């Protein structure tokens, strides 16, 4: 089967986790490499579908159709026309061209989109010679990206972003993206046999992602991807790969995942979402304030996103909350703490420098992930 150069996009700071996930999924044949914060790999259509179905921390999976220098519209036109479009798109493809440009001579995105579409249609016409393309079939999202005068033409195989797992039916204010929540868990010491606690669980994203990881539930099982409807994809492969993913779900053993929040609405939302994700039996939810919480056992891992910002709480409330978190931390020195926040005063107010700090992004908001390592269990 033909292998394509592919690109799994990821939020800043998460690329290494995406790389690890891809290597585990595709082995050496995937030729996974990180370049300028982007994760490239080689894959055929089955592997592209698998990447969409199984990757927990990537934002989207693209096929890289062509990369070339484009300083003029003529360069762009010729480069796009070199792509074998009739091999990629069926006659009725619902193709759409999106664009981005940075640090490039071709800075008018709308003109780049127009030229790309023109070149694409001219190449299609060499085979189909149609005066009108009905666009009544499957969606093919094409992206033209210009960076430092280099053009990259991508085909989006995911459709909706991969953070849309399909389980988040109910939400609260300031939820984490599902992809970031999974990265937080994968960057922590959490393992299936250890305790995990999120005392500010909101809509439950962190505990749900942890339970899906522990149960080996493929994150894409609740949704569909654009590539399922591409002409290159055999519907039987999709059926078989989904069946295989279902057969890998591991319901053996009990998980020790605890999720609490002071808000009744948040707990209701989190329970509903966990049910949608198929992990409601794996998480013990409780409506509790951080100040009333007890530690459920030794060697646990606390991963959380404490409230911060004008929408959520006042300065004094935040200070009090950090004091309560600190008291909890001091109750048991076998625990590891992982806290994500955009509040740069966090370590000072928490009263301890982290073992490690990572810079990450929650959507467009810059956040820090403060990691406090406890001892490993004996």
Which of the residues 63 through 102 are near ligand SAM (CB under 6 A)? none
Q: Closest distance between ligand SAM and the C-beta of residue 23, in Å?
A: 28
Q: Decide if residue 175 touches ligand SAM (CB under 6 A).
A: yes
Residue of 63, 150, 137 lying closest to 103 (CA atoms): 150
* 78 φ, ψ (degrees, to nearest 5): -65, -40
Q: Decide if residue 179 touches ligand SAM (CB under 6 A).
A: no
Which own/partner contact pairs does 249-253 have at CB distance under 8 Å and 24+ positions apart? 249/215, 249/216, 249/217, 250/215, 250/216, 251/215, 253/192, 253/193
The distance of Cα 292 from the centroid of its chain, to the nearest Å, equals 33
Block residue for tokens 């008018």: 108
Q: Closest distance between ligand SAM and the C-beta of residue 153, in Å?
A: 35
- How many CB atoms lie under 10 A from the CB of residue 332? 14
Block residue for tokens 């797992």: 165
Q: Decide if residue 261 touches ligand SAM (CB under 6 A).
A: yes
Q: Decide if residue 55 touches ligand SAM (CB under 6 A).
A: no
Pattern 108-127, ligand SAM, x by CB under 6 A:
--------------------
User: CA torsion, points 5, 10, 15, 21, in degrees to nearest 10?
Assistant: -70
Q: Note whether 362 and 177 are within 8 A (CB).
A: yes
Q: Decide if residue 174 touches ligand SAM (CB under 6 A).
A: yes
One residue of 79, 99, 307, 374 binding ligand SAM per CB under 6 A? 307
Q: Closest distance between ligand SAM and the C-beta of residue 352, in Å?
A: 20
C-alpha radius of gyration, the chain, whole number: 23
Of 218 and 321, nearer to ligand SAM (C-beta) is: 321
One residue of 205, 336, 362, 371 binding ligand SAM per CB under 6 A? 205
333's enclosing H/E stretch is none
Give first-to-last CA distance, the chain, whole Å: 47
Q: Closest distance between ligand SAM and the C-beta of residue 289, in Å?
A: 4
Q: Closest distance between ligand SAM and the C-beta of residue 174, in Å?
A: 4
Q: Decide if residue 169 touches ligand SAM (CB under 6 A).
A: no
Of 95 and 308, nearer to ligand SAM (C-beta) is: 308
Residue of 39, 84, 316, 345 lying closest to 179 (CA atoms): 39
One residue of 124, 212, 218, 290 binding ligand SAM per CB under 6 A? 290
One residue of 103, 289, 331, 359 binding ligand SAM per CB under 6 A? 289
Kindly state the DSSP code that residue 375 receives in the 8-state scheme: P
Of 323 and 332, nearer to ligand SAM (C-beta) is: 323
Residue of 320, 335, 344, 327 lying closest to 373 (CA atoms): 335
Q: Decide if residue 263 touches ligand SAM (CB under 6 A).
A: yes
Q: Decide if residue 277 touches ligand SAM (CB under 6 A).
A: no
- Which residues make up the interface to ligand SAM (CB under 6 A)? 172, 174-176, 199-200, 202-203, 205-206, 261-263, 266, 289-290, 305, 307, 321
């Amino acid at each position: 089967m033909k292998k394509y150069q592919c690109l799994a996009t990821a939020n800043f700071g998460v690329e290494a986790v995406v790389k690890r996930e891809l290597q585990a999924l595709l082995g050496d044949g995937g030729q996974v490499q990180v370049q300028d914060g982007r994760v490239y790999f080689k894959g055929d259509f089955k592997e592209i579908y698998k990447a969409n179905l199984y990757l927990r921390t990537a934002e989207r999976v693209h096929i890289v159709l062509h990369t070339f220098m484009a300083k003029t519209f003529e360069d762009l036109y010729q480069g796009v026309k070199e792509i074998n479009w009739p091999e990629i798109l069926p006659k009725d493809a619902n193709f759409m061209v999106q664009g981005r440009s940075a640090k490039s001579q071709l800075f008018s995105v709308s003109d780049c989109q127009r030229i790309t579409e023109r070149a694409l249609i001219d190449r299609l016409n060499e085979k189909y010679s149609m005066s009108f393309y009905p666009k009544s079939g499957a969606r093919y999202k094409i992206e033209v990206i210009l960076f430092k005068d280099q053009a990259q033409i991508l085909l989006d195989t995911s459709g909706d972003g991969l953070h849309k797992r399909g389980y988040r039916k109910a939400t609260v204010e300031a939820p984490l993206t599902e992809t970031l929540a999974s990265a937080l868990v994968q960057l922590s010491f959490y393992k299936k046999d250890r305790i995990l606690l999120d005392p500010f669980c909101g809509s439950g994203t962190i505990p749900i992602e942890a339970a899906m990881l522990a149960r080996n539930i493929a994150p894409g099982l609740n949704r569909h991807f654009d590539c399922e409807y591409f002409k290159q994809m055999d519907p039987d492969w999709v059926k078989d790969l989904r069946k295989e993913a279902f057969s890998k779900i591991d319901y053996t053993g009990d998980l020790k995942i605890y999720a609490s929040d002071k808000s009744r609405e948040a707990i209701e939302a989190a329970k509903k979402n966990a049910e949608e994700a198929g992990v409601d039996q794996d998480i013990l939810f409780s409506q509790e304030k951080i100040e009333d919480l007890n530690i459920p056992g030794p060697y646990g891992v606390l991963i959380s996103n404490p409230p911060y910002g004008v929408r959520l709480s006042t300065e004094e409330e935040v200070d009090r909350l950090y004091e309560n978190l600190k008291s909890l931390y001091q109750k048991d020195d076998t625990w590891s703490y992982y806290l994500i926040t955009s509040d740069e005063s966090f370590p000072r107010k928490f009263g301890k420098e982290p073992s490690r700090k990572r810079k990450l992004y929650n959507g467009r908001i810059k956040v820090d992930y403060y990691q406090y390592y406890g001892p490993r269990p004996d």
